[in-house]
Amino acid sequence: MVGHKGQVVGYVRVSAADQNDARQLEAIGEVDRLFAEKASGKSAGDRERLQEMIAYVRDGDVVRVKSPDRLARSTRDLLGLVEQLAAKGVAVEFVDNPALSTNTPQGEFMLTILAAVAQLERATIRERQAEGIAIAKARGVYEREPKLTDGQLFTARELIARGVPKAVVARELGVSRQTLYTALNRDGAYSEE
């Protein structure tokens, strides 16, 4: 890159099953600084070398990775990391997927599309969940079992009558104050048929 004032920072990640990072190292070539992750955590927060790399990079740097799956575990994870790096003025270059590299107009466009797809996916999942709950409620399937038995409710009333605060009673019974209030008012699952 002509006129690039920053460093090229490499990031490689190998899973516990495949501890050989030679292919990734060969793909990313010579870099100013390398961060190599040997054991892969479940999320970006679990990957120490990734966190070190994010803390290390500065405005004008380029992070070079073999492919998006080496940097991230999911589209959402990828978008989050790319946005986090972009906020620091750091570009991401994917050797195997140059169309996703953020230092090109095409890459910016592709990531915008991916972000839109991920957002649509989340909205669709939420919509399906809401529809499923509505259908279950209509069929009478979604009713939750009461968390408090009649005996516990009797005890709760006795304690409250003796002046024990409702918050304390709820904590003793292992339920939220809202659940206790609902039960005391005979609402929801506690309503008498």
Question: Which structural domain range is residue 158 located in?
Answer: 150-190
**Per-residue burial over 138-150, b = 16 or more CB atoms within 10 Å of its CB, e = otherwise:** eeeeeeeebbbee
The band of 50, judged by pLDDT with boundaries at 50, 70 and 90, is very high
Task: Report yes or no: 63 and 53 within 8 Å, Cβ to Cβ.
Answer: yes
Token code pair at residue 179: 């659940």
Average pLDDT over residues 68-86: 86
Same domain, 16 and 77: yes
Q: Is 15 assigned a catalytic role?
A: yes
Q: What is the pTM of this model?
A: 0.57
The order of strands in the sheet holding 8-13 is: 33-37, 8-13, 62-65, 91-94
pLDDT over threshold 60, residue 36: yes
| Active-site annotation holder among 15, 43, 74, 191 | 15
Are residue 93 and residue 158 in the same domain, yes or no? no
- Looking at 38, 68, 98, the residue that finishes a domain is 98
Q: Number of folded domains in the chain? A: 2
pLDDT of amino acid 2: 46
Structure tokens at 4: 């690039």
Residue 133 domain flag: no
Tens-place pLDDT, residues 119-165 = 787 788 888 888 888 887 777 766 666 778 888 888 888 888 988 88
What integer pLDDT is reported at residue 16 of this predicted model?
A: 65
- 161 and 88 in a common domain: no
Domain CATH number, residue 82 = 3.40.50.1390
| Residue 119 within any structural domain of the chain | no
Residues 23 and 88 in one domain: yes
- Given 64, 98, 132, the domain boundary residue is 98
pLDDT at 3: 45
pLDDT bucket at 192, cuts 50 / 70 / 90:
low
